[in-house]
Amino acid sequence: MEKKVVFYCLTAKFVDSAVDIPEEVSNIMYYTLSVGHHTGVADCLSPCLSCSMDTYRSIVSHIDSQEARYKLEGIMRFGEIQIDKVHVPALTEALKKELQSLYLQKTSKLYAVEITWLTQFLELLEEVRTQTAMYMMGRLTDEQ
C-alpha cells in the first residue's frame, strides 16, 4: 500500500454528555467551547485535503524556512501533526514562497500536483487564521 498524507479540518464540536447541562453552569460550558478547552467536548474532524507521500515529501523538501519545514516534517516523524493559529504565519510565508518558486520554474508543469496542493493548503491556513477555534490535523495513512 502507498502512504498518503491526509489533512482533516475541524467541522463541529459537541458536548459529550449523557445528561443535560444545568442552566446555572451552561455559560461555563459555552465559554469552554468558545475558547477551545476540551472539558467534555468532542471535536469532529473531516478530511479536507490529501496527497501521496511522494508529493508531500517533494513539497516539504523544498521549503526554505526551518521552522515551517520542521513543523510539516512532523508527519514523517510522528505520523501526525496539528496546525492551529500559532503555526499559520510561518507556514503561510514559507508556503507562499514555495508556490511562487514553483510557478517561476520552467518545469512548473511537472509540479502541477504540488502547485494545486499548495494553493489549497494556503486556503485552509487562511480559514484557520480567520475562524474561531478552527484547526487542522495532518495524518499519515495507508492509501486504499
Q: Is the pLDDT of residue 11 over 80?
A: no
Residue 22 DSSP code: P
Segments making up each domain of the chain, as ranges: 3-9+46-142
Predicted model pTM? 0.79
* 102-137 pLDDT, tens digit each: 888 877 677 889 999 999 999 999 999 999 888 999
Give the total residue count for the chain.
Answer: 144
The answer for residues whose C-beta is within 8 angstroms of residue 42's C-beta and 6 or more apart is 13, 14, 15, 16
* 64-84 pLDDT, tens digit each: 999 999 999 999 999 999 999
Average confidence (pLDDT) over 15-29: 56
Which residue from 90, 124, 133, 128 is spatially nearest to 6, judged by alpha carbons? 124
Q: Is the pLDDT of residue 140 over 60?
A: yes
